[in-house]
Amino acid sequence: MQESKNRVLKLGLPKGSLQESTFQLFKQAGWKISPSSRSYTPRVDDPEVEITLLRAQEISIYVEQGVLDAGLTGFDWIQENDSK
């Protein structure tokens, strides 16, 4: 049971043109994401969540490989990458 307390949700979010609207979506859900100009790992106000900013077309690949637990990307990229 203690192992689950130390687990962190690894979440991939799109960088670039979709980044700000994605941050706003999370803000509406109650999370505050603070981007860093020098890093692809913005801070989030939840210690159980770790965010990585990636190109939208890469996110489904990293989820499929187990690098990320979940991610937000377009269905078109999931299909194009043949991700499961």
- In words, the CATH class of domain 7-80 is alpha beta
Given strand 70-71, what is the order of strands in its sheet? 49-54, 9-14, 70-71
pLDDT at 5: 58
pLDDT at 1: 42
Judged against a pLDDT cut of 90, whether residue 26 lies above it is answered with yes
User: For 49-80, what is each residue's pLDDT tens digit?
Assistant: 999 999 999 999 999 999 999 999 999 999 99
- What burial class does residue 53 get, using C-beta atoms within 10 Å of its C-beta: 0-12 exposed, 13-18 middle, 19+ buried? buried
Which is more confident, 37 or 70?
Answer: 70
pLDDT averaged over every residue in the chain: 90
Give pTM, 2 decimals: 0.83
